[in-house]
A and B are shown apart, each in its own frame.
Chain A
Amino acid sequence: QSALTQPASVSGSPGQSITISCTGTSSDVGSYNLVSWYQQHPGKAPKLMIYEVSKRPSGVSNRFSGSKSGNTASLTISGLQAEDEADYYCCSYAGSSTSNVFGGGTKLTVL
C-alpha cells in the first residue's frame, strides 16, 4: 500500500490561511470518510486534529477544518499562529487487508 501524497512543505504568515492537500486513491481516501489529520511538533508525539474527514476533537481550535473531494482530502488552518508551525500528517482507512495508510507529512512554516 503506497503512502498518501502530501506536499513536503507549505508556509504562511500569521493571520493567513493555508491548505494542505492529501491525495490518495479510490481504494483509500476516495472510498471511505475515514480521513484523519495529526499535528506533530519536533520531538513530540502526534496529536489528533481532525477525524472522519471534518470532525474536530474536543479542545482543538475551530481554526482547523477538514474536507474531502474525490480522492483528495484537505486540511485548512485559518488565522495562522506561530504555534501552528509543525509537521502535519493525513491518514486514511484503506480496507480490511491494509487498515491504515499515512501521508508522507507536510512541514508548515509560519513566516
Chain B
Amino acid sequence: QVQLVESGGGLVKPGGSLRLSCAASGFTFSDYYMSWIRQAPGKGLEWVSYISSSGSTIYYADSVKGRFTISRDNAKNSLYLQMNSLRAEDTAVYYCARDPGSGSYPQYYFDYWGQGTLVTVSS
C-alpha cells in the first residue's frame, strides 16, 4: 500500500534552516509528481511546492520562493524540502503528498498524504 512518511521537523530559530524528508513506498516513486503542502496551527492548508517525476519541473508558492528548495532522489524513493531563512510564519505541519498523474502529466490533486512533520520557527 502507498505510504508517505515525513521526517526532519523540529524547532528552529528565525533565520535558520531545516531539511525535511519524505520516504515513499508502495508505488513506483519515479513515475509521479510530488508536492509539499503545509498547515499552520489551527489554520487551513497551503500548497508550498511541486516537483515533476524527473525533477526537471518545479513550482513554488510565492510565500516560499527564493527560500525553499524542493528536490527528489528517485533511487532512494525520497522527496526533500530544504527550508532556509525561516520565519515565524513558516511554522506549520508539513505534508508530502502524491499527485496521481504520471510521467509528464500532473493531475493537480493529491491522492495520498503523509502524516506530516511539525516545523516550529521561534526564538
Which A residues lie at the B interface, using CB under 8 A? 1, 3, 32, 34, 36, 38, 44-48, 51-52, 57, 89, 91, 93, 96-105
Is B115 among interface residues, defined by CB-CB distance under 8 A? yes
For A1, the chain B residues whose CB sits under 8 A away are 61-62
For A96, the chain B residues whose CB sits under 8 A away are 59
Chain A residue nearest to B6 in the complex (CB): A45
For B59, the chain A residues whose CB sits under 8 A away are 96-99
**Consensus secondary structure, chain B interface:** loop
- Contact between chains at B95 and A91 (CB < 8 Å): no
- Contact between chains at B116 and A102 (CB < 8 Å): no
**Consensus secondary structure, chain A interface:** loop
Q: How far is the CB of B69 from chain A (nearest CB, A)?
A: 16
Which of A38, A45, A57, A105 gathers the greatest number of chain B CB atoms within 10 Å? A45
Instruction: Contacts A1-B62, A46-B113, A96-B59 given; indicate if A102 touches B44 (C-beta within 8 A).
Output: yes
Known A1-B61, A96-B59; further 17 A-B contacts with Cβ < 8 A: A36-B108, A36-B110, A45-B115, A46-B95, A46-B110, A48-B110, A51-B111, A89-B44, A89-B45, A93-B108, A98-B61, A99-B61, A99-B108, A100-B35, A100-B50, A101-B47, A102-B47
Chain A residue nearest to B108 in the complex (CB): A93
Could you say which interface size class chain B belongs to?
A: 20 to 34
Instruction: Contacts A89-B44, A89-B45, A99-B47 given; indicate if A45 touches B109 (C-beta within 8 A).
Output: no
Which B residues lie at the A interface, using CB under 8 A? 35, 37, 44-47, 50, 59, 61-62, 95, 107-111, 113-116
**With A and B bound together, what is the CA distance between A97 and B37 in angstroms?**
17
30 A-B pairs with C-beta separation under 8 A: A1-B62, A3-B44, A32-B108, A34-B108, A36-B109, A36-B110, A38-B110, A45-B113, A45-B114, A45-B115, A46-B45, A46-B95, A51-B111, A52-B107, A52-B109, A91-B45, A91-B109, A91-B110, A93-B108, A96-B59, A97-B59, A99-B50, A99-B61, A99-B108, A100-B35, A102-B44, A102-B45, A103-B44, A104-B44, A105-B44
